[in-house]
Amino acid sequence: MREGQSGFMHATTRRTLDELSELLERQAGRTRDPVERLRLLRRGLRQAQARGAPRRARTRTLLASMALLLLVSAPTGSSSRLPSPLSRPSPSAPASGALPRLWLVEKTAEHELYSNGLRVERLLATRAGPRRPRRLALHGAPAGPPPDPAGIVFHASESDPAPLEPEWNHVLRRQGASLLQWVREHALYHYVVDRFGRVHRILEDDQRANHAGHSLWADANWIYLELNESFLGVCFEASTTDPARSGLSAAQLRSGRLLVEMLRAVHRLPAGNCVTHAQVSVNPRNGRIGYHTDWAAGFPFADLGLPDNYAQLLPALRFFGFEADSGFLARAGEPLRAAVEATLQELAEQARGGGLPLEQLRRGLQDRYRAAARAFDDLQE
């Protein structure tokens, strides 16, 4: 093909893709049902593929039509449509004070130093791929660009830590080194806080860490799927399976507070998006929450300068019909069990308001989750 013909074909493809995007947006404006909107998006992707659009071009065009993914309330007077639980956003945790003015003082190959006194060790820093956020807008398109990163997921290493005593020093050092090497090899977290309170950077903040697996969270503006793609992972060297050893050391609490303060100040992270792995982990195969249960109880939110985020309603139950089984409830502390109960009560109220059995409502919400997951899979193939 001659250069002129190639340019003409490229321009034609761009024009037809722009027309396709406009058509999809018009169709979306007439489509109130969120599942049908997602189907429209997937159909648009197939049309773009059929028109010969290169992968990058069709992804760019369809991402411009992300209005199709907006989850909006179904008409309350229509019994044929699924009542939407999205008429009210997840309650944001109360603010824990204004974020301080904070900056990077010094950065070398060995460490980072921040103005609040936080030192981050860099000797184990490595690289991974960039994040590709999966998020759905609540209540129309929010003003401004979506946040990235959007929050923090807190983890426990679930290793078997030795007692924090002088006579165990050689064991503690060996355990810490082994953990850090494992985390680095598998790009598991952005930061690890070891037993002595040292903060280790494993990945840069714009990289994707393999820390959250299948997971869900939401704030007042967005629902986030697969939090590897949108949240930072912070791991404390600790065990939550042994009640006698589940606490963090005083050094970990001091460093953890400075780390959270730094991350929130640098990335403007809302306090309500700083949550534990147990709050966000889901298992799509059986429709249950809590595939991972680290920090299902006892996370020291207040010591890290955060509100008690265990009190927040659980988006996986609320928006997508997941369930909490007896195993999860047995691991959860009283605050998280109370959040589960409050979320289920709200869901039951919405089922009654829509004239539907609770199980029918839950099945419809689970269909929404599967539709959203498929649409994102198609976009990112």
Residue type, position 18, single letter: D
Tell me, letter by letter, the H, E, C secondary structure of 139-170.
CCCCCCCCCCCCEEEEEECCCCCCCCCHHHHH
Q: According to the model, what pLDDT value does residue 11 have?
A: 38
Q: Is 282 exposed, middle or buried (0-12, 13-18, 19+ CB in 10 A)?
A: buried
Residue pair 288/168 in contact by the 8 Å Cβ criterion: no
The rounded mean pLDDT for the chain is 81
Q: Which of 142-151, 197-206, 225-234, 251-260 has the lowest mean pLDDT?
A: 142-151
> 353 φ, ψ to 5°?
-65, -30
Judged against a pLDDT cut of 50, whether residue 89 lies above it is answered with no
Strand order from edge to edge, sheet including 119-121: 104-107, 111-114, 119-121, 199-201, 191-193, 231-236, 151-156, 274-276
CA distances, 365 to each of 136, 204, 274, 347 (Å): 14, 35, 25, 11
Residue type, position 50, single letter: A
> 218 φ, ψ to 5°?
-150, 150
Helix (H/G/I), strand (E/B), else coil: 154:
strand
Maximum CA extent, the chain: 77
Average pLDDT over residues 331-336: 96
Strand partners, 350: none
pTM over 0.85: no
Q: Which of 62-66, 116-120, 222-226 has the lowest mean pLDDT?
A: 62-66
Dist CA 206 CA 226 (whole Å): 16
- pLDDT band of 138, cuts 50, 70, 90: confident
- Give all domains of the chain, ordered by start, each with its CATH number: 3-69 (no CATH), 85-379 (3.40.80.10)
